[in-house]
């Protein structure tokens, strides 16, 4: 029987049991899936060594659990409702049976193009069912998918393709998001000039615009699929074989390809989806994320399908054609579960309430948030205006690296508290450590958030760079997994995430490394050096502030700023554009040459009173100069 926690007391019991018998707990959970062969060993490895394995020796294919297993029971149930960018465009629903057929067809197409188990396939697509079908078809043949968010630039796409040596790229001719058009095929063509590993490009028609065509390399999705068989025998995978790679930003260097594996990821996403959201048989679940991020992977594609849920694939934005778009969709499909980012809530909160009141939201039962801390004001607006005061809110804390939700209320089961992710899921033990690596015990405390024991959903490595994996997560606190987040534990043991303690920004729920943005800015001919920090932004959570030393003082500040924005857009993508910029004569550096970001953060936040001690700086006068420019 699948574990489905229904009361707070049961949560407490299960939590205790999971703590006392951690491996039994996970073994029991794993036992409810379809394995072609049961595992030999539940778990091995440790954070110390960074060699974590789950369900070793087990054989399975995750798509048999997401699709085949449901055919005899809920084959005619809707797996996905597709809602296009424009409300008047063609919409459709896809049953589990149809999805299974589509995935099998496309799996056959992939194999006919020579894609085999272990090969990497890059997916750069609009939020349409074909994106989901592509990912699942890869999983079915054992190919490793790497989905790249379709807002990234050609250069970012190329970097990700090169890093994992993808053999194939699946894309669209273009996409529309709100009133914007993104020429995906043109961007792909540009990226592929520097990607010799890719010999096949499959193009799925979406915008019908004119595109360039490379004979022998490019092929249309609809032509390939036409003659493909709808039967496909899933390829048998080891539990620890890679399922996908997903790139995420770190505090230094290039994006890190997080590698998730088949068995553990399946067990973890499925377990967390079921218990956090509490979706019942006829519910309509909507996660508004893009499949290019981990939220889309775990809680649009995999978690819901393992549980036989009905989900929505939404191509649009919260504000197109108007800021009532989300609520219109909730009303139209009688959505019961709605999962979105605080940044979207804050943006919609600023709009006239009539955009909410126009629609009937009474179908809603559960609300969720993810990606960044939610401020109390936004929490209350969400609770009162959207949930009509009677929907539990699950504030779900997790990361690309964790695979699935780690700290969260279970909807309607465990208590909630505004601004708090609340309690860990059974199987997860958070720990707070201080700067010196000492464990902070008791309640009413604050520290760096770590996790005590491996769980099945944890990333197993950074693609091609296991040392970096060890450095980033395992070395900072020996014997623990380090999350990079700061965290409070209140008097009742509830957790509140306070934000990153490293040089990672969270802009509108998107994770960006300051180093990445600085590298892009430094490409400008006139920029000698730059330092990027975050500052509080009332919609985005964090805004991007860039301090730059220039060779020559720009004669036109506006033109210069536009050049920098365009450059960052070209190199990374529009999400990384600085909101504010300042040309400075120097940066506050320690004698060893390290930039004191703490000082820049205070200046960016306009908190000039609390800059703190500057006596250890190489040149304290620089701070006064920057302050005067800010004022």
Interacting residue ranges for ligand WT7, rule: CB under 6 A: 248, 293-295, 370-373, 395-400, 421, 483-485, 497, 500, 506, 511
* Minimum distance of ligand WT7 from residue 411's CB (angstroms): 14
* Minimum distance of ligand WT7 from residue 441's CB (angstroms): 23
* Minimum distance of ligand WT7 from residue 132's CB (angstroms): 18
Name which of 251 and 526 has its Cβ closer to ligand WT7: 251
* Minimum distance of ligand WT7 from residue 249's CB (angstroms): 8
CA-CA distance, 478 to 473, in Å (whole number)?
Answer: 9
* Minimum distance of ligand WT7 from residue 486's CB (angstroms): 9
CA-CA distance, 148 to 470, in Å (whole number)?
Answer: 24
CA distances to 451, 485, 523 from 482, in Å: 7, 8, 32
- The residues pairing with 536 across neighbouring beta strands, listed in sequence order, are 542
Q: Find how far residue 361's CA is from the centre of its chain.
A: 27
Tokens for 14?
A: 């299960």
CA-CA distance, 577 to 124, in Å (whole number)?
Answer: 21
Name which of 328 and 429 has its Cβ closer to ligand WT7: 429
Scan for tokens 């006392």, then name that residue. 20
CA-CA distance, 47 to 474, in Å (whole number)?
Answer: 6
Name which of 54 and 473 has its Cβ closer to ligand WT7: 473
How long a stretch of residues is the chain? 631
* Minimum distance of ligand WT7 from residue 371's CB (angstroms): 4
Name which of 164 and 421 has its Cβ closer to ligand WT7: 421
* Minimum distance of ligand WT7 from residue 114's CB (angstroms): 33
Name which of 403 and 427 has its Cβ closer to ligand WT7: 403
CB-count exposure of residue 594 (10 Å: 0-12, 13-18, 19+): exposed
Name which of 290 and 518 has its Cβ closer to ligand WT7: 290
CA-CA distance, 440 to 432, in Å (whole number)?
Answer: 5
- Residues near 425 by beta carbon (within 8 Å), at least 6 away in sequence: 271, 272, 275, 276, 405, 406, 407, 408, 410
User: Do the beta carbons of residue 317 and residue 508 sit within 8 Å?
Assistant: no
Name which of 451 and 623 has its Cβ closer to ligand WT7: 451
CA-CA distance, 530 to 600, in Å (whole number)?
Answer: 11
Name which of 95 and 343 has its Cβ closer to ligand WT7: 343
* Minimum distance of ligand WT7 from residue 534's CB (angstroms): 11
* Minimum distance of ligand WT7 from residue 496's CB (angstroms): 8
CA-CA distance, 610 to 620, in Å (whole number)?
Answer: 15
Name which of 454 and 541 has its Cβ closer to ligand WT7: 541
CA distances to 381, 444, 611 from 418, in Å: 11, 17, 30
């Amino acid at each position: 029987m699948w574990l489905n926690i229904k009361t707070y007391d049961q949560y407490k019991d299960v939590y205790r049991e999971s703590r006392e018998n951690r491996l039994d707990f996970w073994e029991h959970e794993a036992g409810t899936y379809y394995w072609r062969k049961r595992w030999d060993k539940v778990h091995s490895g440790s954070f110390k060594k960074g060699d974590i394995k789950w369900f070793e020796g087990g054989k399975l294919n995750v798509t048999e659990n997401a699709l085949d297993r449901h055919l005899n029971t809920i084959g005619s149930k809707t797996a996905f409702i597709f809602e296009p960018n424009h409300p008047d465009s063609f919409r459709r629903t896809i049953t589990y049976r149809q999805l299974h057929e589509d995935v099998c067809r496309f799996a056959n197409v992939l194999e006919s193009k020579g894609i085999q188990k272990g090969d990497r396939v890059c997916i750069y697509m609009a939020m349409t069912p074909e994106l989901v079908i592509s990912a699942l078809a890869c999983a079915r043949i054992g190919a490793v998918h790497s989905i790249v968010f379709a807002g990234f630039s050609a250069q970012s796409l190329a970097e990700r393709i090169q890093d994992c040596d993808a053999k194939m790229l699946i894309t669209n001719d273009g996409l529309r998001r709100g009133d914007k058009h993104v020429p995906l095929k043109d961007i792909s063509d540009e990226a592929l000039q520097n990607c010799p590993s890719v010999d096949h490009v499959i193009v799925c028609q979406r915008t019908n615009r004119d595109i360039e065509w490379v004979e022998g390399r490019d092929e249309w999705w609809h032509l390939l699929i036409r003659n493909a068989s709808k039967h496909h025998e899933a390829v048998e995978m080891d539990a620890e074989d890679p399922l996908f790679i997903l790139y995420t930003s770190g505090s230094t260097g290039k994006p890190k390809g997080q590698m998730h594996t088949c068995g553990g990821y399946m067990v973890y996403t499925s377990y967390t989806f079921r218990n956090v959201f509490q979706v019942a048989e006829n519910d309509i679940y909507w996660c508004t994320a893009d499949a290019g991020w981990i939220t889309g992977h775990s809680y649009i594609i995999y978690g819901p399908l393992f549980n036989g849920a009905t989900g929505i694939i939404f191509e649009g934005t919260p504000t197109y054609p108007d800021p009532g778009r989300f609520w219109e969709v909730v009303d139209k499909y009688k959505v019961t579960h709605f999962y979105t980012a605080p940044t979207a809530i804050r943006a919609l909160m600023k709009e006239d309430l009539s955009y909410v009141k126009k629609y009937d939201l009474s179908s809603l039962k559960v609300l969720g948030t993810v990606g960044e801390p939610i401020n109390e004001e936004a929490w209350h607006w969400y609770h009162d205006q959207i949930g009509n005061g009677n929907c539990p809110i699950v504030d779900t804390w997790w990361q690309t690296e964790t695979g699935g939700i780690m700290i969260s209320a279970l909807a309607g089961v465990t208590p909630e508290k505004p601004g708090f992710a609340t309690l860990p899921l059974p199987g997860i033990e958070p720990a707070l450590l201080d700067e010196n690596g000492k464990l902070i015990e008791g309640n009413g405390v604050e520290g760096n958030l770590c996790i005590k024991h491996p769980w099945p959903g944890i990333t197993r490595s950074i693609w091609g760079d296991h040392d970096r994996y060890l450095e980033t997560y395992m070395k900072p606190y020996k014997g623990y997994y380090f999350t990079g987040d700061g965290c409070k534990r209140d008097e009742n043991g509830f957790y509140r995430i306070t934000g990153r303690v490293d040089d990672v920004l969270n802009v509108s729920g998107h994770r960006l490394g300051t180093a990445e943005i600085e590298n892009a800015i430094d490409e400008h001919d006139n920029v000698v050096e730059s330092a990027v920090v975050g500052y509080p932004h009332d919609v985005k959570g964090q805004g991007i502030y860039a301090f730059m030393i220039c060779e020559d003082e720009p004669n036109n500040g506006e033109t210069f700023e536009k050049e920098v924005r365009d450059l960052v857009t070209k190199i990374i993508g529009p999400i990384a554009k600085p909101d504010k910029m300042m040309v400075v004569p120097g940066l506050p550096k320690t004698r060893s040459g390290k930039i004191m970001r703490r000082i820049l953060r205070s200046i960016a936040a306009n908190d000039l009173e609390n800059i703190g001690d500057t006596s250890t700086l190489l040149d304290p006068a620089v701070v006064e100069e920057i302050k005067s420019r800010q004022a």
